[in-house]
Structure 1
Amino acid sequence: MIEEKIQQHGEALYQALRAQVCVRPLTEQEPGITIEDAYHISQSMLQHRLDNEGEKVVGKKIGVTSKPVQEMLGVFQPDFGFLTDAMAYPDAAEIPIAGNLIAPRAEGEIAFRLKKDLVGPGVTEADVLDATETIIPCFEIVDSRIEDWKIKIQDTVADNASCGVYVLSEKEVDPRDYDLPNLKMTIWKNGEFHSEGLGSAVQGNPLTAVAWLANTLGEFGIPFKAGELILSGSLAPLIPVVAGDEMRLEIEGIGGCSCKFV
């Protein structure tokens, strides 16, 4: 795709984000779009946020890693995007929907806080563990600037992996003390049990997902940096939310986090 088209779509997605409106799927607008094209569109969209809003990149995210999420969205390989400081909410936060989100869905995840740089390709699960300071229970609130969530992999990658905002627990623990594939997460919506999942839902092991992301972004010359957060993917199906909904999750033996939508 020519640079002019990349910039055009990047700006259109940025304007959609700011106006909280949707655009027609890029895979319909540009039938020949590749994942590499989509990644460059995502970078263009991100650059508008950095330049125009003063946001700062604080991490990266992987999404569409578990079978339930893939089946729900009809996207059968992971996506990847960037986290900025403006996306972050504290535990128990009230998250506004109007003027902030379009069609949000909550995901229960494990976040990684890095203490060392990681530069792919060639990153292994052992490298990820060695570079991780703590893991943190997390809600990612995904959102889509693509009409009706009609996304293919190129659409979601271009749209910064359908990232909206995220909520971090106050609980941070050393991952070396836990069996990550067997960590059990339970999720409640409005006080009632909704779903549960294990760490193994994320490519068999959250470490595997983070290594994949480090290696995938490494091919584009993008490193993981010490201090960054890495969201490793949803352990359970996506949960649509509207104003008034309250979400809570708990990871057995670690702790949890919550948020309310207003």
Structure 2
Amino acid sequence: MIHAIRAAAQELLAAKEERSMLTEDWPDLDVATGYAIQDEALRLRRERGETLVGLKLGLTSRAKQQRMGIDAPLLAWLTDAMILPAGVPVPELIHPRAEPELVFVMGKRLAGPGATAATALAAVSHVCAGIEIIDSRYCDYKFTLPDVVADNGSSAFFSLGPVSKPPSELDLSLEAALVEVDGKIVDTATGAAVQGHPAEALALAANALAARGLAIEPGWVVLTGGMTDAVEMKSGSRVAAHFSNLGSVTLTA
């Protein structure tokens, strides 16, 4: 099993083009093993010099959970190599998509079990806007839950906006984002799309990590999940997310 986990992590990290799902050759792959593959990939990333900077939640909207047949989000790791500074074009990827996110930067350690939205929010230093670039290694973004967990939640890059505020200054359930592609508004949502409130997602993350003996650490960045459906980033396209109180984030492909 250890060798299979290591081989799967290495294959997913090295993938430069679409590949078949792991479950096609590993039909009994389960979510717990998917997280073991994800953790092994993080170990390999750290081995090559990357630093763990936080985590992301995926499948936080009720609609996405229903489509996948689950009742809770998935978690994935973020490293410093995934940070995309402002003004830097999105590197060439397989089939990148962008989604707006409300992002927490942690001021205190947040550990479960028993974390609530209130205790989670009390551990947050500040909130900012972000865009996550996802890029599934699987053909046509088709996968099972164990597959996408193993693939680190389809993570690729993320970019943060220039405005940050303490959570006490925001109504995060009403904080809105407009998604613009090449000058045209294509979608809009509020923070309520993320588990009803992004702090609920943060608490869920802390409680899920506690089951693995882990916690959300001070200084970590936490991407709380896509507020809208992800939009395709074609070569030469420009995607922007405009937030009510947190400014704008713009990326070009």
Distance across 2 between alignment mates of 1:87 and 1:188 = 22
Q: Does 1:66 align with 2:65?
A: no
Contact 1:135 1:175 in 2 (8 A): yes
Q: 1:42 aligns with which of 6, 15, 38?
A: 38
Residues 155-179 of structure 1 show CA distances to partners (whole Å, capped at 9, x for unaligned) of 1100011101001001111111111
Corresponding residue for residue 4 of structure 1:
3
Contact 2:107 2:218 in 1 (8 A): yes
**1:219-238 equivalence runs, <5 A:** 219-238=211-230
**1:1-262 equivalence runs, <5 A:** 2-16=1-15, 20-52=16-48, 54-70=49-65, 74-77=67-70, 78-97=73-92, 101-261=93-253
User: Number of aligned pairs?
Assistant: 251
Distance change in 2, residues 1:91/1:162 (3 Å): same
Residues 151-205 of structure 1 show CA distances to partners (whole Å, capped at 9, x for unaligned) of 1111110001110100100111111111111111111101111110010101111
Distance across 1 between alignment mates of 2:94 and 2:47 = 23
Shift of 1:70: 4.7
Q: Runs (4+) of structure 1 moved beyond 4 Å?
A: 68-71
Contact 2:242 2:249 in 1 (8 A): yes
Shift of 1:92: 3.6
Distance across 1 between alignment mates of 2:245 and 2:13 = 40
Distance change in 2, residues 1:76/1:190 (3 Å): farther
Contact 1:184 1:198 in 2 (8 A): yes
Contact 2:161 2:246 in 1 (8 A): no
SS at match of 2:173: helix
Shift of 1:58: 0.2
Contact 1:118 1:224 in 2 (8 A): yes
Contact 1:81 1:161 in 2 (8 A): yes
Distance across 2 between alignment mates of 1:9 and 1:113 = 31
161-170 vs 215-224, greater mean Cα deviation: 215-224
- Over the matched positions of the two proteins, sequence identity in percent amounts to 32
Distance across 1 between alignment mates of 2:245 and 2:39 = 38
SS at match of 2:136: coil
Distance across 2 between alignment mates of 1:157 and 1:84 = 16
SS at match of 1:117: coil
Contact 1:68 1:237 in 2 (8 A): no
Distance across 2 between alignment mates of 1:252 and 1:76 = 32
Unaligned runs of 5+ in 1: none
Distance across 2 between alignment mates of 1:28 and 1:174 = 45
TM-score, structure 1 as length reference = 0.92
SS at match of 2:162: coil
Q: Once superposed, what is the RMSD of the aligned Cα atoms? A: 1.4
Distance across 1 between alignment mates of 2:246 and 2:90 = 24
TM-score, structure 2 as length reference = 0.95
